[in-house]
Structure 1
């Protein structure tokens, strides 16, 4: 893919808001054509019109990646309209909150259905196209894979699985010339904090760290730069890079700090 995105077809899941919508805007600015995949059709149509007004071309496809056959339908539509797919950004996800003792197995299953199994479906449905184009798979994970926080057990487990999946795919696809990028967002503006444990948007939910979050468009620029450069991992935001470095190079100190925070409740 070289160092540019012009003419590439980029399928983005979770494209109706946050990082996904910002990625769609960013790739259009660079001459790519996004396939917009999400559950909220009105949001997708609105975003598609915005991109068209900006001179871009996109394809909105309403899809629930948790349901068998739906991502395959979206991929089929992309092939019909654009001829194939060069880049996949598996971005759809949400967070189930709760301490281990309070979680039910249904809670954990619901978390994995989107964050892990939905991502697996997305990759399996698009892998033939990406292998043919020698393109890129970008899997959006979380700092939770490196620094799991108490009260987020289901989410932490799901994002650790995403990292393991990215690392495995990178080895399996090495001979095929497919780049696999693990995206590790720090604190980025999105609707994730306002989505409840059932994956339903709730405007009344409060984001306690909203002031620390960086704009989604800023994060999108970093992610697309990493895709174009065919990097293995992109830790987004400066505070994210600091936290990742702490977890990697000072795990004892990091664990002690997390333990102190957990004791304070």
Structure 2
């Protein structure tokens, strides 16, 4: 019997749950985005919070996204993808490749956290408007220092593997995740990314190749793919994206 995968994440944004959705969509494997279901069908935020309060087998996840398979709960994006990768055919079979994929995914997790902190450098509990001065300073340093450093690292990782994929000779969940990061950065920092991508042609080519894959293209054109917005991880505030 095929596993029935249930994904739990906030229903109105892409967020960190999008990295998991992209893996399911590329693999063509059915999954249920539970929080987007109506409450009368067992969905909604209430169903997610009930599990976070202690339902299911194993450790209770700290926060969404988390995956439910039967009564087994698994949290953290990178950890979920480590579990799903071999089951969805999105990572090679050998242990070294799987560990390297996980290592890269953890680096992507670090990158996403730093991207988020450009608009919430003081506290996630505060509104952006309450920390605009700190955000402007943080974003400036991010554009000048951290953005090129992270992109440079991933560009080199692609080059070391031949330039088309991060792991082996076929698409992996790391490629899908990097596509999401590039798309998010293009939304949040269009000026900075226009400059940065001149030095990272392999990353740009990877993002284009992922977007053109039939299942991903169909997903991106569907209502299941929510738009980027200013309630999400990737946010566009013009004052944080200097033209020079």
If the TM-score is normalised by the length of the shorter chain, which range does it land in?
Answer: 0.3 to 0.5
- Indicate the structure with greater helix content: 2
TM-score w.r.t. length of structure 2: 0.33
TM-score w.r.t. length of structure 1: 0.31
